[in-house]
Amino acid sequence: MINGGGGRLYRVLFRTVLRRIDAETAHRIGFGAIRAAAAVPGGAALMRRACAVDDPALPVRALGLDLPGPLGLAAGFDKDARGVTALAALGFAFVEVGTVTAAPQPGNPRPRLFRLATDRAVVNRMGFNNDGSAAVAARLRRLGRRRRQRRRVVVGVNIGKSAVVPDQHAVVDYVASARRLAGLADYLVVNVSSPNTAGLRDLQAVERLRPLLTAVRTAADRAARRHVPLLVKIAPDLADEDVVAVADLALELGLDGIVATNTTTSRHGLRSAALEIDAAGAGGLSGPPLRERSVQVLRLLRDRVGDRLALVSVGGVETAADVAERLRAGATLVQAYTAFVYGGPSWPRRVNHDLTRRLGTQPDLRR
């Protein structure tokens, strides 16, 4: 039921049941069902057989890693590394878990996750709710890098600042997570761009970002005893000159890439009713309304860094056409989240299937 028929069933289920209940509860139910299906003996293997799109046009070499395709799942869906194997079995080439903080934290008060269905968008003010880096490290340790490699599961870990930690101690907090997780991650992402932790976006300023990234780079490589690909995730709300400044800093420090972009605080251009938008309140907006700015930032970055950095494009990706547009604009890899929420478990397979056709007829899509 994960093929096209499963997609139709999910859309009916979403319209009749899931969209009528709290978005966070619906996420918990849906994600739980995916994990349960994979936990049945032989379940993950069946899911992989049903969802795999095996085509020589798809594999990508990026961040020193061999990936089965360019499409991955963005951070935010699996905050605590509870369903990595199941999500990869659905067809994601890589799964980015988190955002993970050094200290476990409950996040912001509920309700904190809202759908704007007319725009196929989501507003969240989750506030980095997660079990903490020690617990996530323990789960990844059980999963094991060798086992992941056999099953072609690439796992990135997105780290952020604990809410209880004062801004002046942010570097120490990030370093604590990096030390715990670097040896278990295929790559690390420093998240300084969520709008839902007070003061976090201030860390995007180059004078504050430089010591943070330098410290995380050193701590990660020492802890893992190898080079751990390190990326920084930036906001779409940065001015163009600030995007360029971060790109220059990433080159200066020898980072491996940039993830662009996080959610936006803007509500410009939404088609949803004003009352619905007001009811959702503050938080980061994701989904199609973010598409235009996300592509703008991607092009700006690629023009600045050339082929010296990997660029992971995220924000408003819904279709294979969107993935193709990002690849054409210079993305090395592409991530999605909100479209998966609306599209259901068969969404990755549908996108990958269509993408193979596009890659076969448009070989210039990749730089």
pLDDT tens digits, 254-311: 999 999 999 999 999 999 999 999 999 999 999 999 999 999 999 999 999 999 999 9
CATH class belonging to 4-365:
alpha beta
**Any idea what DSSP says for residue 272?**
S
Q: Which two tokens stand for residue 148?
A: 């992941």
β pairing state of 284-286 and 121-124: antiparallel
| Token digits of residue 37 | 């299906």
Three-state secondary-structure class, residue 318: coil
Q: How far apart, in whole angstroms, are the C-alpha atoms of residue 10 and residue 17?
A: 10
Which tokens hold the place of 268?
Answer: 């410009």
User: Closest Cα to residue 14, out of 117, 114, 111?
Assistant: 117
Amino acid in position 139: R
Q: What is the pLDDT of residues 241-252, one digit of tens each?
A: 999 999 999 999
Beta bridge partners of residue 231, listed in sequence order: 189, 257
Residue range 198-220, pLDDT digits in tens: 777 878 888 889 999 999 999 99
Residues 6+ apart with CB under 8 A from 361: none
| pTM assigned to the model | 0.93
SS (H, E, C) 215-247: HHHHHHHHHHCCCCCEEEEECCCCCHHHHHHHH
346: which 2 tokens?
């068969």
pLDDT at residue 147, rounded to an integer: 56
What pLDDT does 1 receive? 44
Q: Which residues are catalytic?
A: 194
Helices (H), the chain: 4-16, 23-39, 43-51, 84-89, 133-143, 145-150, 170-181, 206-224, 240-253, 274-280, 291-305, 320-328, 338-343, 347-361
pLDDT tens for the chain, 367 residues: list them: 455 444 454 455 555 555 678 899 999 999 999 999 999 999 999 999 999 898 988 999 999 999 999 999 999 999 999 999 999 999 999 999 999 999 999 999 999 999 999 999 999 999 999 999 999 999 999 987 655 555 568 999 999 999 999 988 999 999 999 999 999 999 999 999 888 787 778 788 888 899 999 999 999 999 999 999 999 999 999 999 999 999 999 999 999 999 999 999 999 999 999 999 999 999 999 999 999 999 999 999 999 999 999 999 999 999 999 999 999 999 999 999 999 999 999 999 999 999 999 987 766 665 5
Q: 53, 64 in Cβ contact below 8 A?
A: no
Cis before 338? omega within 30: no
pLDDT number for residue 13 = 55
What's the CA gap between 341 and 352, in Å, rounded?
A: 17
Q: What is the pLDDT of residue 5?
A: 46
